[in-house]
């Protein structure tokens, strides 16, 4: 009606504000880095472990991921399997997740803990995990479910 504000027009003008006028919280991680963080199966496995506990030694993490990747119990992981995953985590995947502020890594103790953007990435993982790799999610979740029983 004449004289009444057009609510559709107001909503559109707020949404279509120029990018420099749309302010995001500095705590907000854009979607592309989330997908980048979850773009490799080892990083997804690492993130699944963060759903289980928020602090891990790199060796324990390498053992767990090697077990998942080889579909064997953790006690059956060989030194070579653990080392192969450890090296990959240390040189490629942990630094990437540190750069995205998903985890922190203490070099002295070789301990990984969650960081500022972990919650966003873990929420995305829970939402898209099955579409990325249903076997991986099922494997990770089955182990977590066993621990809850």
Q: Give pLDDT tens digits along the chain (149 positions).
A: 555 444 444 444 444 445 555 554 555 557 777 888 888 999 999 998 998 899 999 999 999 999 999 999 999 999 999 999 999 999 999 999 999 999 999 999 999 999 999 998 988 888 775 455 555 556 565 654 555 55
Say if 102 falls within a structural domain. yes
pLDDT at 125: 84
Q: Which two tokens stand for residue 3?
A: 């004289």
d(CA 136, CA 70) in angstroms, rounded, equals 11
pLDDT at 78: 98
pLDDT at 11: 41
- Could you list the residue range(s) of the whole structural domain that residue 115 is in? 30-144
Say if 103 falls within a structural domain. yes
Say if 8 falls within a structural domain. no
Cβ-based neighbours of 143, under 8 Å, separated by 6 or more: 52, 68
The CATH code of the domain that includes 130 is: 1.10.10
Say if 72 falls within a structural domain. yes
Q: For the chain, what is the domain count?
A: 1
Say if 16 falls within a structural domain. no
Q: pTM (2 decimals)?
A: 0.69
SS3 (DSSP) at 123 = helix
Residue 74: name the closest of 84, 85, 64 by CA: 64
Residue 61: name the closest of 93, 34, 99, 108 by CA: 93
Say if 19 falls within a structural domain. no
């Amino acid at each position: 009606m004449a004289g009444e504000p057009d609510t559709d027009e107001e909503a559109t003008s707020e949404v279509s504000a120029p990018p420099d006028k749309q302010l995001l919280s500095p705590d907000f991680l854009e979607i592309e880095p989330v997908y980048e963080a979850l773009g490799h199966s080892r990083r997804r496995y690492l993130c699944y472990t963060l759903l289980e506990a928020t602090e891990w030694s790199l060796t324990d993490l390498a053992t767990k991921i090697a077990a998942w990747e080889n579909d064997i119990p953790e006690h059956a992981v060989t030194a070579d399997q653990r080392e192969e995953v450890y090296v990959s985590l240390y040189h490629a995947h942990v630094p990437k997740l540190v750069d995205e502020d998903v985890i922190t890594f203490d070099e002295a103790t070789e301990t990984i803990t969650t960081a500022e953007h972990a919650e966003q990435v873990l929420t995305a993982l829970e939402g898209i995990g099955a579409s990325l790799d249903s076997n991986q999610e099922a494997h990770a979740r089955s182990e977590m479910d066993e621990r809850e029983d």
